[in-house]
């Protein structure tokens, strides 16, 4: 049977539930800008009714607990997209620093190559001119410097990326340790049927940070998240994390090993580490090899043309360029071998005034190198590749950024805190609290009336 | 869909619009739509090739200018030589008249000597240090006064050279004959001696390269003497053989009015187009000593005026006249080349315009489009910023009364 005491209890219960809901609202508002925070909702449930004969009377509300609102699928998609974006950004950062070297300027390889042939052509009009000969030497030195600079730019980038590999691996190991440390707490909460709440948010945020560094696959288990790299190398299992290691490879570059010492470098393809390795081991060596080949074959062709003629002293032309026998390192080490303009082999008959061999030197410009193209076309192809790589990576970075924005919007629509919504909730729960308090006041008044009834009777 | 936080979207929109604004601004300020290879990889690669072509065209244009100056210098020299030869013919014709006294003939001979000196000066014309009629041996005067005898600086009475003296392999001894107009070059190989050189000179005499009587002997002071036994036939001898030392003309052996050509017959070519080379010089031997030997004909006219009969003067004048016609003929290809070069200069100017147009098309921005894009980007950016300023501060809290 309903009584004032029951009503009072129901009101007090409502006050507690509303206080709890207000606390959740407060927490949501406080974390509105916290990265990785998933909004929480208070689980309010109707209390079991009391049956009095045929009459069933409600007993108010109870606060069952708090629940974070998540979308695991979108969360996973964000992690994957983050890996792709970080990989693209790592490559883009390097390519943007490489690109200026291959951009047409007053000192790029193409311009200096043209300048050298122009100076040779000018020399043909007066092969005994000291100033025209000096112009050829200067142009040759400028071209060699342009090759040296381009090579240095590429190798410096490569060295920087090599350092980044070690830093990324260290960062990955720190994060996996932190994730592993959170797993037991989540397992405990799961075991008691509670929501992971803040701990789960922290872990999700750490996994996102890890995704920015490397390719990672997440498997949800009762013992928390199990993490592996893209090729299945375990990173976190339960409370245990498995550190990656680095070692210097035969090429002088840092190689990544799993906890068993197995090489996994080539299997890391996304995230900052994947993008860094891709650029360090694929993109830059590819460009460097083409640059070395061009420098070596161009230098050899000029030297061969020199050997066909005679210098101003009537002696057979000596090498114009110093180039190593091996192709590797040619761009870095190419230099002009002769120091005196009279050593340029312009003559085809041994007389100083002959310019007959300039044609052979000039022919290097239009003849195909052993690689199959003329020097100019070879360089143009290199420019195309650098431009194409940078352009494609820029597009990829832009696409993943847009995609990530959309996915974050999607996640935010589920898990994000809306200040407007929370403000409304605040009003709603405040009103509910005030109403419940009014019930207490009312019941109190009724109690007073009831007690007063007794007092009147006694009088 | 719940919209909870518009900040990331607004930030993204601002970044996109500012990036577009930056690109539009760069295009307007540089006038280029391709500022780096990634803007258009194919256009950038084509630009590399096109710029190389432009550099070549620029250099061809400079070459045309340089070669043209050199050839015009040569043409002027030939023109002056032709004028001089005409003067010589006039003088010869007057000298061939039966009424001219011997004294007048001597006076005319002296005038023709002046003409010869003038022709030699024209034949030794240089342009920027290059003797235009020296072939590829353009660093030294091509026409040199000839002597009958040249002796080696090596060899003495105490240490004489001998016919068995070995010559240096690879060395060259050159004999330029003023009479034949030819040059004989002896390149020593291992085992060659002075006797080998002497035999070779005899062979050159036999085939007419050198004048009759030319020989190489060891003289009384133990030096190698190369010369002729004719006081009228002169030559110029040089050698780079260290065993012989340089060859110098023996004192008082100069042959009056005889000049030998010490240049060579090589012709230099200069590229003035992707597929166009032009010969930049006319060897002096081809112009003045080969065929009707103009120098020798003038010398002959002088001799005829000094000692010859009227008939001989007439014949010598005719020889000069033949030489004049020959020189005039040789000038035609030179003039043709000058004309070609002028045409090529115009063509290269057009090519420059074509390439510039091509390059503008490849990487140049259409300024009207670029300005419109900039205006549009400014408008979009302003709109995004205005929207951000309006939307971001909007929350329900703004409308709730303070408690």
pLDDT tens per residue across span B285-334 = 888 887 788 998 999 999 999 998 999 999 999 999 999 999 998 889 89
Q: How far apart are CA A330 and CA B337, in angstroms?
A: 43
| CB-based contact B164:B194 (threshold 8 Å) | yes
Other CB atoms closer than 10 Å to residue A49's CB: what's the count? 12
Q: How far apart are CA B373 and CA B365, in angstroms?
A: 11
- Under an 8 A CB cutoff, do A354 and B40 touch? no
Q: How far apart are CA A370 and CA A355, in angstroms?
A: 26
And the tokens for B18? Answer: 């500012």
Q: Which positions 118-137 of A are in contact with B (Cβ < 8 Å)?
A: 118, 121-122, 124-129
Which of A351, A353, A390 shows the shortest C-beta gap to B38?
A: A390
Q: Which positions 390-449 of A are in contact with B (Cβ < 8 Å)?
A: 390-391, 394, 401-402, 405, 408-409, 412-414, 416-421, 423-424, 427
* Residue of chain B whose alpha carbon sits nearest to that of A354: B136
* Residue of chain A whose alpha carbon sits nearest to that of B16: A398
Does pLDDT of A458 surpass 60? Answer: no
Low-confidence ranges of chain B (pLDDT < 50): none
- Total beta-carbon pairs less than 8 A apart between chain A and chain B: 190
And the tokens for A178? Answer: 């932190």
Taking only the tens place, the pLDDT of each residue in A234-288 is 999 989 999 999 999 998 999 999 988 989 998 898 999 999 999 999 999 999 9
Within 8 A by CB and 6+ apart from A85, the residues are A212, A397, A400, A401, A404
- Under an 8 A CB cutoff, do A115 and B40 touch? no
Q: Taking CB atoms and an 8 Å cutoff, what residues of chain B touch A394?
A: 38
Does pLDDT of A332 surpass 90? Answer: yes
Please give the pLDDT value at position B403.
Answer: 54
Distance to chain B for A151, nearest Cα, Å: 18
Please give the pLDDT value at position A192.
Answer: 83
| CB-based contact B331:B77 (threshold 8 Å) | no
Average pLDDT over chain A, rounded to whole? 92
* Residue of chain A whose alpha carbon sits nearest to that of B277: A359
ipTM computed for the complex: 0.86
| CB-based contact A161:A305 (threshold 8 Å) | no
And the tokens for A262? Answer: 């197995």
- Under an 8 A CB cutoff, do A390 and B37 touch? yes
Q: Does any CB of chain B come closer than 8 Å to the CB of residue A377?
A: yes
Other CB atoms closer than 10 Å to residue A304's CB: what's the count? 15
Which of B36, B46, B63 shows the shortest C-beta gap to A121?
A: B63
And the tokens for A329? Answer: 């390192």
Distance to chain B for A114, nearest Cα, Å: 5
Taking only the tens place, the pLDDT of each residue in B57-95 is 999 999 999 999 999 999 999 999 999 999 999 999 999
Answer left, alpha or beta for residue A426, where phi above 0 means left and psi between -120 and 50 means alpha: alpha
**Reduced to 3 states, what is the DSSP secondary structure of residue B201?**
helix
* Sequential DSSP letters for A213-252: HS-EEEEEETTEEEEEETT--EEEETTEE---EEEE-TTS
Q: Taking CB atoms and an 8 Å cutoff, what residues of chain B touch A104?
A: 44, 47-48, 51
Q: Taking CB atoms and an 8 Å cutoff, what residues of chain A touch B264?
A: 349, 351
Please give the pLDDT value at position A125.
Answer: 92
Taking only the tens place, the pLDDT of each residue in A65-86 is 888 998 989 999 999 999 999 9
Please give the pLDDT value at position B380.
Answer: 94
- Classify residue A328 as exposed, middle or buried by CB count within 10 Å of its CB (0-12, 13-18, 19+): middle
Q: Where are the beta strands (DSSP E) in B212-253?
A: 215-218, 224-227, 235-239, 247-249
* Residue of chain B whose alpha carbon sits nearest to that of A39: B4
| CB-based contact B145:B169 (threshold 8 Å) | no
- Under an 8 A CB cutoff, do A353 and B269 touch? no
And the tokens for A172? Answer: 């990955």
Give me the mean pLDDT over the A10-26 stretch: 94
| CB-based contact B155:B192 (threshold 8 Å) | no
For residue A454, name the pLDDT band (cuts at 50, 70, 90): low
- Under an 8 A CB cutoff, do A390 and B44 touch? no
Q: How far apart are CA B266 and CA B134, in angstroms?
A: 9
- Under an 8 A CB cutoff, do A349 and B266 touch? yes
Report CA A149 to chain centroid distance, whole Å: 28
Q: Taking CB atoms and an 8 Å cutoff, what residues of chain B touch A102?
A: 37
Tokens 């601004």 sit on residue:
B25
For residue A459, name the pLDDT band (cuts at 50, 70, 90): very low
b/e A219-246 (16+ beta carbons within 10 angstroms → b): eeeeebbbbbbbeebbbbbeeebbebeb
In what helix (H) or strand (E) does residue A286 lie, and over which residues does it extend? helix A284-308
Other CB atoms closer than 10 Å to residue A430's CB: what's the count? 15
Q: How far apart are CA B342 and CA A40, in angstroms?
A: 87
And the tokens for A312? Answer: 């101003």
Q: Taking CB atoms and an 8 Å cutoff, what residues of chain A touch B59?
A: 117-118, 121-122
| CB-based contact A228:A217 (threshold 8 Å) | yes
Tokens 């869909």 sit on residue:
B1
Please give the pLDDT value at position A52.
Answer: 79
- Under an 8 A CB cutoff, do B271 and A110 touch? no
- Under an 8 A CB cutoff, do B268 and A124 touch? yes
Please give the pLDDT value at position A456.
Answer: 56
- Best CA proximity match to A382, nearest among A302, A301, A288: A288
Q: Which positions 151-210 of A are in contact with B (Cβ < 8 Å)?
A: none
Please give the pLDDT value at position A172.
Answer: 96
* Residue of chain A whose alpha carbon sits nearest to that of B264: A351
Q: Nearest-5° angle of CA A367, CA A372, CA A376?
A: 55
Q: How far apart are CA B196 and CA B203, in angstroms?
A: 11
Length of chain B: 403
Read off the pTM.
Answer: 0.87
Q: Does any CB of chain B come closer than 8 Å to the CB of residue A376?
A: yes
Q: Taking CB atoms and an 8 Å cutoff, what residues of chain A touch B397?
A: 419, 423
- Under an 8 A CB cutoff, do A387 and B49 touch? no
Report CA A236 to chain centroid distance, whole Å: 21
Distance to chain A for B248, nearest Cα, Å: 21
Q: Taking CB atoms and an 8 Å cutoff, what residues of chain B touch A390?
A: 36-38
- Best CA proximity match to A4, nearest among A455, A458, A344, A453: A453
- Under an 8 A CB cutoff, do A401 and B67 touch? no
Which of A103, A111, A413 shows the shortest C-beta gap to B36?
A: A103
Please give the pLDDT value at position B402.
Answer: 65
Which of A32, A102, A354 shows the shortest C-beta gap to B268?
A: A354
Q: How far apart are CA B94 and CA B388, in angstroms?
A: 106
Taking only the tens place, the pLDDT of each residue in B239-257 is 999 999 999 999 989 988 8
* Residue of chain B whose alpha carbon sits nearest to that of A375: B49
Within 8 A by CB and 6+ apart from A375, the residues are A113, A294, A297, A298, A301, A364, A365, A369
Q: Taking CB atoms and an 8 Å cutoff, what residues of chain B touch A123?
A: none
Other CB atoms closer than 10 Å to residue A359's CB: what's the count? 19
Distance to chain A for B44, nearest Cα, Å: 7
- Best CA proximity match to A339, nearest among A311, A365, A358: A311
Q: Nearest-5° angle of CA B172, CA B183, CA B207?
A: 105
């Amino acid at each position: 049977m309903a009584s004032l005491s029951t009503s009072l209890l129901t009101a007090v219960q409502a006050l507690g539930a509303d206080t709890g809901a207000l606390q959740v609202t407060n927490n949501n508002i406080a974390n509105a800008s916290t990265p990785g925070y998933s909004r929480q909702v208070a689980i309010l449930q109707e209390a079991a009714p009391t049956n009095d004969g045929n009459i069933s009377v409600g007993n108010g509300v109870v606060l069952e607990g708090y629940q974070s609102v998540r979308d695991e699928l979108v969360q996973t998609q964000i992690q994957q997209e983050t890996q792709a974006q970080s990989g693209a950004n790592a490559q883009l950062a390097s390519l943007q620093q490489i690109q200026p070297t291959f951009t047409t300027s007053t000192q790029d390889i193409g311009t200096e190559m043209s300048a050298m042939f122009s100076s040779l052509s000018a020399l043909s009009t007066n092969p005994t001119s000291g100033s025209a000969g000096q112009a050829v030497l200067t142009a040759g030195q400028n071209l060699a410097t342009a090759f040296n600079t381009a090579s240095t730019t590429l190798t410096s980038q490569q060295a920087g990326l090599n350092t980044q590999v070690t830093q990324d691996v260290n960062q990955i190991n720190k994060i996996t340790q932190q994730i592993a440390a959170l797993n037991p707490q989540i397992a405990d909460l799961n075991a008691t049927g509670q929501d992971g709440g803040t701990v789960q948010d922290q872990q999700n945020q750490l996994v996102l940070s890890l995704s920015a560094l490397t390719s990672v696959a997440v498997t949800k288990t009762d013992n928390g998240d199990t993490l592996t790299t893209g090729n299945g190398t375990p990173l976190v299992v339960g409370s245990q994390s498995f550190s990656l290691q680095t070692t210097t490879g035969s090429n002088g570059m840092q190689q990544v090993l799993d906890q068993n010492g197995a090489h996994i470098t080539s299997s890391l393809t996304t995230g900052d580490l994947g993008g860094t390795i891709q650029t360090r081991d694929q993109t830059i060596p590819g460009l460097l090899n083409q640059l070395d080949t061009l420098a070596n074959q161009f230098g050899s062709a000029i030297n061969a043309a020199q050997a066909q003629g005679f210098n101003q002293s009537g002696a057979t032309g000596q090498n114009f360029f110093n180039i190593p026998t091996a192709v590797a390192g040619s761009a870095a080490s190419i230099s002009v071998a002769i120091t005196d303009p009279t050593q340029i082999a312009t003559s085809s008959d041994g007389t100083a005034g002959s310019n007959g061999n300039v044609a052979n030197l000039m022919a290097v410009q239009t003849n195909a190198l052993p690689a199959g193209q003329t020097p100019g076309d070879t360089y143009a192809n290199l420019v195309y590749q650098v431009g194409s790589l940078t352009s494609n990576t820029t597009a990829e970075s832009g696409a993943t950024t847009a995609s990530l924005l959309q996915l974050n919007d999607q996640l935010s629509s589920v898990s994000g805190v809306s200040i407007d919504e929370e403000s409304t909730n605040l009003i709603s729960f405040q009103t509910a609290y005030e109403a419940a308090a009014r019930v207490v006041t009312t019941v109190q008044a009724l109690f007073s009336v009831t007690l007063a009834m007794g007092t009147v009777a006694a009088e | 869909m719940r919209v909870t936080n518009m900040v990331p979207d607004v930030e993204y929109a601002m970044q996109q619009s500012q990036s577009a604004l930056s690109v539009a601004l760069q295009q307007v300020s540089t006038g280029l739509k391709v500022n780096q290879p990634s803007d258009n990889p194919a256009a950038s690669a084509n630009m590399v090739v096109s710029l190389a072509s432009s550099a070549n065209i620029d250099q061809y244009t400079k070459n045309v200018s340089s070669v043209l100056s050199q050839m015009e210098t040569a043409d002027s020299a030939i023109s002056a030589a032709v004028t001089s030869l005409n003067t010589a013919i006039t003088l010869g014709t007057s000298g061939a008249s039966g009424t001219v006294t011997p004294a007048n003939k001597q006076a005319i001979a002296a005038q023709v000597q002046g003409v010869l000196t003038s022709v030699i000066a024209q034949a030794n014309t240089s342009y920027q240090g290059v003797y235009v009629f020296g072939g590829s041996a353009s660093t030294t005067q091509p026409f040199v006064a000839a002597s009958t005898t040249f002796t080696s600086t090596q060899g003495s009475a105490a240490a004489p050279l001998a016919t068995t003296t070995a010559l240096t392999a690879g060395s060259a001894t050159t004999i330029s004959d003023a009479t034949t107009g030819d040059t004989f070059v002896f390149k020593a190989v291992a085992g060659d001696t002075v006797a080998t050189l002497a035999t070779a000179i005899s062979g050159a005499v036999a085939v007419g390269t050198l004048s009759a009587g030319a020989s190489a002997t060891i003289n009384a002071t133990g030096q190698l003497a190369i010369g002729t036994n004719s006081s009228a036939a002169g030559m110029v001898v040089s050698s780079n053989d260290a065993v012989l030392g340089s060859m110098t003309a023996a004192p008082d052996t100069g042959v009056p009015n005889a000049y030998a050509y010490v240049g060579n017959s090589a012709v230099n070519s200069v590229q003035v187009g992707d597929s166009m080379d032009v010969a930049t010089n006319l060897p002096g031997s081809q112009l003045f000593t080969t065929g009707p030997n103009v120098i020798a004909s003038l010398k002959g006219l002088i001799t005829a005026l000094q000692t010859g009969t009227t008939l001989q003067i007439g014949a010598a004048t005719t020889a000069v006249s033949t030489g004049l016609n020959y020189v005039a003929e040789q000038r035609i290809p030179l003039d043709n080349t000058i004309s070609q070069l002028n045409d090529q200069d115009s063509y290269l100017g057009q090519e420059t315009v074509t390439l510039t147009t091509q390059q503008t098309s490849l990487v140049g921005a259409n300024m009207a489009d670029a300005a419109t894009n900039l205006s549009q980007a400014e408008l979009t950016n302003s709109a995004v910023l205005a929207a951000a300023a309006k939307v971001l501060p909007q929350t329900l809290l703004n409308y709730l009364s303070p408690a």
